[in-house]
Amino acid sequence: MNASETTYLIRPVRPDEFRALGELTVAAYHGLPDPMDHQAEYDIQLRDVARRARTSCVLVATTPAGDLLGGVTYVSGPQDPYSEQLDEGEAGIRMLAVAPEAQGRGVGRALTVDCLERARAAGRRRMVLHTGRWMPAAVRLYESLGFVPATEIDFSPAPGIDLLGYVLDLA
């Protein structure tokens, strides 16, 4: 990869980007090799960036010119409505998405690392996330960063959707 392929900025989403990030997130999830059951219902949540941004830290990756490449929701702790069973001292990652045309360029890794840095700076001891077998690229990314399966936090939010828990100790 050359420098122009890896140059992007990570920052909080702006209100004028809510709609575009929602559509980017839906497009990324629709590009998965195995479609998720209940995708239409989940698309509503994926598009609602404004709601997530009111309660959580929604981050975007952009080019220096401002083109949107991806986004993620950083969940600061169990008090966050998007926490999915976090315990005290834990932070989480939700709804990581990279624009289909930007995949494979390290955008997802950079967004994840930014979340890890935020959690460490906040004194969190562990990062927690959930993913699915239908997201093989995400599983590879998380495992390459040191996340390990945590079957004790696997869960199924709806019939046919089995979420796999992963954790990374930060201390």
The domain that holds 150 is classified in CATH as 3.40.630.30
Query: Given this model, what pLDDT does residue 2 score?
Result: 35
Report d(CA 67, CA 143) in Å as an integer: 28
The residue among 77, 76, 59 whose CA lies nearest residue 68 is 59
Report d(CA 12, CA 5) in Å as an integer: 21
Query: Given this model, what pLDDT does residue 51 score?
Result: 94
Query: Given this model, what pLDDT does residue 45 score?
Result: 79
Provide the domain count of the chain.
1
Query: Given this model, what pLDDT does residue 164 score?
Result: 84
Query: Given this model, what pLDDT does residue 4 score?
Result: 40
Cβ atoms of residues 36 and 162 within 8 Å: no
Q: Which residues of the chain have pLDDT under 50?
A: 1-5
Q: Provide the residue range defining the domain that includes 57.
A: 3-169
Helix (H, G, I), strand (E, B) or coil at 118: helix
DSSP annotation of 122 reads T
